[in-house]
Each structure stands twice: as structure tokens, then as C-alpha cells.
A and B are shown apart, each in its own frame.
Chain A
Amino acid sequence: MAKRIGMEVAIAAAEAVALCNIDVAAVYPITPQSHIAEHLAEIVADGRIDAEFITVESEHSSISACCGASGAGARAYTATSSQGLMYMHEVLPIVSAMRLPVVMGLANRAVSGPLNIWNDHTDIMPQRDSGWIAFFAENGQEVVDMSIQSFKIAEHPDVMLPIVLNIDGFQLTHMVEALEMPDQKEVNRFLPDYVPYATLHPDRPVSMGTAAMPEIFTEVLKAKDEALINSKKTIIKIWKEWKELFGREYNPVEKYKTEGAETLIMTMGSMGETASLAIDELRAEGVPAGLIKLRLWRPFPFEELKEAVKGAKRLIVTDRAISFGGPGGPVASEVRSAFYNEKDRPIISNFVIGMGGRDVTVANFKDIIQKAIKMKKQDLDKYVLYGVRE
């Protein structure tokens, strides 16, 4: 039986991964991910799980070790944050191109410079096009659940892609939360053994990571994109299975009080919890506002997003990264392009919030929604860097 416990979310992430019968963990510690690395190392050292913990010398090595381990048929896990992910960048598209189901926990943290260890999404956004499935977790329970789900989704024969689970640094990693930790029996029932498509074995020769000449490269990219797009079906299917077994529901786009809402605000990750409190207060004050939370970042859930926004006059997209010299926030830019050809599209505004750990309160969210409602048409093209002192 699952146990309801109080636990720091980073520790819970490591505990959840330990329930997944991993073979290899190659993790290099970095704030605010360190507790995942340390606790997982401890679990392996204590002999609680039969896995190799590779003490790599960098993040470039940790992802490379996972790539090799996964190619050899091992279930491999890594975790990182900010600069660590930037250092992994070169290897990320190779792992996805080789269709290796590595799972990564990412404690989201601002990238330098200036040096900042606190939370925003500037680390994941530059990795957007690396061909990984990307999830965002809102609270500790979701971190536990999605860590376990990720292995099953990544390894599914219809998917075979790596997954990055975004876990807001500090706001989630360092919180002690009440959560339900599934027991080993329940996880075993949900998660089958990893059956690789092919493994590096001398008796059955296979070349992985081959070269592709101009005559075939385009077709290889098409195959990779189709794999990403098609993975959504399996992701949704496995989330349904999860609900049947554990009772907790997961959707590509989560809705909160969207019925009859004229104004919708969109968040990703931990900010959803604060925003939902703002929605409660606004609804009590008679403001028809609702919240949508983007859980699935890649593959981008076009249909689900359009369905969730249907009937709303206004959509406020919050971003936790800036595309400098560009259109503002990367999420808003994608949402705008998703709606461009729609006849009935909402008025879209973009607020960049909570950069480098700046707190965004319930009052802030209410203020953002009120400001967006009053926003003039000529201001809509510009993004709002919320709270900037000027």
C-alpha cells in the first residue's frame, strides 16, 4: 500500500526513481538538484537497489554515460540543473536521435550570467529543440508520479525517446510536502521490465549513432519528428493507466475553473498552485477568470490547448524565460503561433514572471490578470517583464 508521508521533494524524486528498478544512474551534483544526486547515491551505496551509480566528472559525462548505458540495454537515469544542462546540450539531441529512453530530472534554475541559483525556466527553454519529451511538474506528488511514469513512457516501443521532467528548483526541490509514495509492488505492477529495441552486444552487432549523408538526413529528421508527435498518444494512454491504478489524473493541458472563464492565465510548473489561489479569490470577487497549466511542453499539445482555451476572450501566457531581442517569452511565442490560423482566437498577452527566483505571490497573479484585462491593443505585441523596476 502506498504510504502518505512528509518528504523533501528532491529526496522523494530519488526515492521514486529507486522504485523503478534502474540499472544505471550517472548524476553530477549541482544546486538545486544536489539532493537528488546525493540521495540516489546513498540508496545505491546502502545496497537498497541493485544499480551502478557512476560518479562522473561532469554533466557532459553524465549524459554520455547514460547514453552508452541505455544503448547497452540498461535503464538509465540522470538529473541536473541550469549550467549542468547547458553543458549536456551537445549530447541531448544525440540521445533522442538514437531513440534511447534516458530519463532526466531537471531542477529548473536560472542560467548564468549573472550567476543565480534560483528558479526559472531559462535552462530548459534553450533545449526545446533537442527532441526530448518534456514534462512540467507542479508539486511533489507530481514529481513522484511523473518520475515513475517517465520510464514507462520513454521505453514504450511506440515512443523510444528520452524524457526530461522539469521540477522547479527550490520552489519544489527543497519543499517538504505531504505526498503519497507508491510501494514497490504497485510500481512493479505498473512498470514492466525494459525491453530494448536493440542493445550493444558483440553477438548481435548493431551500429548506433551512425553518420547520415545528405541523401538520408532529411528522412531521418522526419522520422524523429514523427516519433515525437506520435508519442503524445502513448503518453495519454499511460497517464490513463496511471489514473486507474493510482487514482491521480494527468493531462497534457490541465484546466482549473475554466468553465465560463473570459480570461485564462497559463502557467507551467509550480506557479500553477499560486495562480489557482488567485483564481479562487478573483472568482469570489466576481471576475470570470480561469487557469490552464501546460504539463506537456514537448510534444506540444496543440489540440488540447485549443480545446482548453475555447470560448475564452483572453489568454495570458506567463513565461519564465526571455528570448532576448525576440518576441518575449518562448512559450507565448509558441502559443501565439498555435492560434494564428484560428478564426476564433483569444487576445493573447505575455507576462514574463518569477525570473531568477523572484517570488510571484497570489496578489501578483491577481494584479497580472487585472492588468491584462485592461491592456490596450497596441500593448499586446510587447511582453511585460512583470515587476521590473523602472
Chain B
Amino acid sequence: MKQKKWPEKWHEINPGCMVFEPGSAHAYKTGSWRAQKPIWDNAKCIKCGVCYLYCPEGCIAEDEKGFYSADMDYCKGCGICAHECWPGAIEMKEEGEG
């Protein structure tokens, strides 16, 4: 079933475009904006968490082993994580490439 992302017609919009559902921005997946994707090389990763701190989207999370990865539903491919990763453990690769 097709999920309704926004009101179909102008008169279905709440006055002032107010949104009563908290955290609804979560439903808007920005991953489709991405042209490049971050690839982690955990052999180089020192688990400092700089990528997690600098990600403007807040889509990088730590796993149970202490390594990091991005939620590709939201990662816009900005490359800030790769730029900030001083051990050079993150590489930006074109979408569609391995």
C-alpha cells in the first residue's frame, strides 16, 4: 500500500502547516539525495567517534563492537565524516560502485 507522506489537497493541510505528530521528520528519508556513500575500513578505525559527532544528519551510530556506520535511509552523502576522520578510515565512493 502506498504510504501517504503529505496531504493530497490544499484544504487537507492543517492551518499554518502545523504538524501534530512529534518526530515526523523521521518519515522523510533524505538518503535519496546521496551521490556518494561513506565506506568504513574498520581495520583503520580507532573508534574515536569523530564521525558520529560531526555527522550533521545525526545518522551515524555505534554498533555493539564500538565501530560506526551510517543509516543509509538518511545519509545525504555530504562527506563530512570522511573529511573529519583523521585516521582516514572513511572513504567516499560513488553510488553504484562497490
Instruction: Write the residues of chain A forming the contact surface with B, with a CB cutoff of 8 angstroms.
Output: 97-100, 160, 197-198, 205-208, 210, 212-213, 215-216, 218-220, 222-223, 226-227
Partner of A219, one of B9, B15, B20, B22: B9
Q: A215-B6, A216-B13, A220-B10 are in contact. List 9 more A-B contacts (CB 8 A).
A: A198-B18, A205-B20, A205-B22, A207-B18, A207-B19, A212-B17, A219-B10, A223-B17, A226-B10
Asked whether A97 lies within 8 Å of B10 as measured between CB atoms, the reply is no
CB <8 Å contact, A210 and B15: no
Residues 10-34 (chain B) with a chain A CB within 8 angstroms: 10-11, 13, 15-20, 22, 24, 28
Q: In whole angstroms, what is the CA distance A207 to B18 when docked?
A: 6
Among all A-B residue pairs, the 3 with the closest Cβ atoms: A99-B16, A219-B10, A222-B10
Name 19 A/B residue pairs within 8 A (Cβ), A-sorted: A97-B17, A98-B17, A99-B18, A197-B15, A197-B18, A198-B16, A198-B18, A205-B20, A206-B18, A206-B19, A210-B17, A210-B18, A213-B28, A216-B6, A216-B7, A216-B13, A220-B13, A220-B17, A223-B15
Closest residue of chain A to B28, judged by CB? A213
- B65 beta carbon closer than 8 Å to chain A: no
Once the chains bind, are A99 and B15 in contact (CB under 8 Å)?
A: yes
The CA-CA distance from A371 to B74 in the complex, in Å, is 68
- Closest CB in chain B relative to A73 CB, distance in Å: 13
* Residue B5 interfacial (CB < 8 Å): yes
CA of A219 to CA of B19 in the docked complex: distance in angstroms? Answer: 15
Contact, CB under 8 Å: A160 / B16: yes
A189 to chain B, nearest CB (A): 27
